[in-house]
Amino acid sequence: MHQFSYIFLWITLTLWSCNGAAKREQQRQDSLARQDSIQKIERKKNRKTILFLGNSLAAGFGLDNPEESAYPALIQKKLDAGNHNYRVVNAGVSGETTTGGRERINFLLKQKVDILVIELGGNDGLRGVSPQVVKENLQQIIDIARKRYKKIKVLLVRMEAPPNLGLDYTAGFTKAFDDLEEDNRKVVTVPFILDGIAGKPELNQSDGTHPTAEGHEVIANKIWKYLQKVL
């Protein structure tokens, strides 16, 4: 992808990520309540659980029907089509950061989780959060999950920082994910899921940033390639 496309992408994302603390907190509370309700319904069923811990991408921001067309829902359809006995729990919250994910993970893990997909870090990059903090938060999420469920499988989706924050920051952000990959050999790493989508009008909504339903299909196919390794 050309550098100007990344700059346009991340500047636009910055404008959309600032939803306000109160709104993000309400989204988190709604997500927790939703997951608690799902947990009560599903507890009696003998299905394994895949938890998506993410931001506006997982939440399907801007889609007409995110419960059907956001990429976690598309993953569920792939699982069902392949007769895989898994249910997807979508814990995506628009504007979520690695800090927010770390704060939510203990509650989300009250339900038995077999596979954890972590799609966080993009909003940290937009806000210029220290790459070291991003690394520490993601490592804590991984450690908490493994401590809670020793056999849990973890997928970590790599994120990229906006180039307009400077080469040093961008390099530090990339290194944070490189270190996480090096330090967690059993974690399956998924490449940046917006690569090949960002900058393409046909795959993005009118804001030029958030993927359309078609864009989510591309994301789902990318993640599915790696998720199949741990099913």
**Considering 17, 69, 124, 210, which one is annotated as catalytic?**
210
Phi and psi dihedrals of 229, rounded to 5?
-70, -20
The active-site residue, picked from 17, 56, 69, 94, is 56
Q: How far apart are alpha carbons 8 and 15 in whole angstroms?
A: 11
Measured in whole angstroms, how far is the alpha carbon of residue 83 from the centre of its chain? Answer: 24
Give the Cα separation of 142 and 156 in Å (integer).
9
| 210 part of the active site | yes
Catalytic residue of the set 30, 80, 143, 207? 207
Beta carbons within 8 Å of 191's beta carbon, 6+ residues apart:
158, 222
Distance CA 226, CA 231 (A): 10
Contacts of 171 (CB under 8 A, 6+ apart): none
Alpha-carbon gap, residue 144 to 70, rounded angstroms: 27
The count of other CB atoms within 10 Å of the CB of residue 13 is 22
> Annotated catalytic, 36?
no
Determine contact, residues 60/70, Cβ cutoff 8 Å.
Answer: yes
Active-site annotation holds for 168: no
Q: How far apart are CA 204 and CA 16, in angstroms?
A: 14
Q: Residue 94: CB partners within 8 Å, gap ≥ 6?
A: 19, 24, 27, 55, 56, 59, 61
On whether the CB atoms of residues 85 and 48 are closer than 8 A, the answer is: yes
Active site residues: 56, 207, 210
